[in-house]
Amino acid sequence: MSTDLVHRIDALRLVDHHVHSSLCVPVTRQEFETLITESDRPIPAGTTTFDSQVGFAIRRHCAPLLGAAQHASPDEYWRVRASRTPAELTQVFLTGSGTGHWLVDTGFMGDRLTPLAELADLTRTRVSEVVRLETVLEDIAPGSTAAGLERDFRTALADAAASAVGLKSVVAYRHGFDIDPARPSGPEVAQAAARWLGTLNDDSPPRVTDPVLLRMILWAGVDAGLPLQVHAGFGDPDLDLRRSDPLLLAPWIKAVESSGTDIVLLHCYPFHRGAGFLAHAFPHVYFDVGLALNYSGAAAAAVVAESLELAPFAKILYSSDAWGPPELHYLGAVLWRAGMTRTLTRWVAEREWSESDAVRVATMIGRTNAQRLYGLSDD
């Protein structure tokens, strides 16, 4: 194994192009165990979430940063973790990740998460915002009307996007990718808005699932011109995985190709090979395998290698998609570096790649592709 290649990948200052902030409130062990799984259901009695790829990865990679031994028991890990404040944990793990710039989706449960300015201060890194389309619509809906909903949404989106580097949609969660790819007409939007607004009440927050309204906000996101991230593949049980295959989104991808807006398929597992095809076939499509890395743990190297099979290397990005426990922000970087190192050193040893090309591609995926796509300055 080339020690220079290992060093260059380890030293790479990453751009995490899709992530959420870290917890700013303490949690119990039970809460922590629910936060390191994508499931929102209780775990079976007598079991622990630590008995999983992500749980083993936390004990292997995160324990030493807190002063515990590698592979510390869950009880020992929790003992040393519980002695740290949320701010201290954020500093330890996010700083330890070697990430220089975080592109943060602020659209989900922000009241439990560290505000962006504080996150930048704690980590001494750059932090930029990614605006979630569905959240913008749901925030303005209670004060809007059927006739004015699209206008109000576009105004609010323009305000929110003024300081953002990208937009994000969770249409895969709210409906699925098997939607009509066409831009909806004004009357269609008004009728759908009337139906939706008529269901809103004070007992539960607004939640947009109507396919016409989801199409409306997707097209508004395209019109905004910023890179538009779209969650695909693996997620929590709110998702119908069958309908989150990015290949189902191909008709819409074709429909927006002439717009000049780039589409970024997030995470994609187990459909990452299909995402690689879309990035190969369409110049405005990019993808990552972010969320899969933490949850595949010791097997993440195989996912990283598969992500390199088909797509041009300039179309692949790094993300952790970490949310909440800062261990996930750290693990995303550690597992990506390990996967890239294992894959690329093998190809260099087999003389399929030169070492200089391996370093260059790792740098593209880990950093410079995101800088180019999102218009970020070098840092």
d(Cα 181, Cα 163) in Å, to the nearest integer? Answer: 28
Q: Which residues are 204's β-sheet partners? A: 201
d(Cα 364, Cα 171) in Å, to the nearest integer? Answer: 28
Secondary structure letter of residue 239 according to DSSP: S
Q: Report pLDDT for 379.
A: 64
Q: Which residues are 169's β-sheet partners? A: 230
Which position has the token pair 């300015």?
A: 117
Q: pLDDT-based confidence at 377, cuts 50/70/90?
A: confident
CA-nearest of 77, 89, 245 to 177 is 245
Which position has the token pair 């538009």?
A: 228
- Number of structural domains the chain divides into: 2
Q: What are phi and psi of 273, to 5 degrees?
A: -70, -40
- The alpha carbon dihedral of 130, 132, 133, 138 has a sign of negative
Asked if residue 357 belongs to a domain, the reply is yes
What does the pLDDT average to over 194-214?
Answer: 94
CATH number of the domain where residue 268 is located: 3.20.20.140
Return the half-sphere exposure (C-beta side, CA atoms, 13 A cut-off) of residue 116.
Answer: 17
pLDDT in tens, 92-151: 999 999 999 999 999 887 789 999 999 999 999 999 999 999 999 999 999 999 999 999
Q: Report pLDDT for 32.
A: 97
Q: pLDDT-based confidence at 202, cuts 50/70/90?
A: confident
Q: Are residues 286 and 188 in the same domain?
A: yes
Q: Are residues 332 and 242 in the same domain?
A: yes
Over the chain, what is the mean pLDDT?
96
Q: Which of 84, 110, 125 is the last residue of a domain?
A: 84
pTM of the model: 0.96
Is the CB of residue 40 less than 8 Å from the CB of residue 237? yes
d(Cα 224, Cα 270) in Å, to the nearest integer? Answer: 30
Q: How many other C-beta atoms can be found within 10 angstroms of the C-beta atom of residue 331?
A: 27
Asked if residue 252 belongs to a domain, the reply is yes
Asked if residue 379 belongs to a domain, the reply is no
Q: What percent of the chain has pLDDT over 70?
A: 99
Q: Are residues 326 and 245 in the same domain?
A: yes
Which position has the token pair 């595949």?
A: 296
DSSP helix/strand/coil, 205: coil
Q: Are residues 231 and 344 in the same domain?
A: yes
Which domain, by its residues, includes 43? Answer: 27-84
Q: Are residues 203 and 281 in the same domain?
A: yes
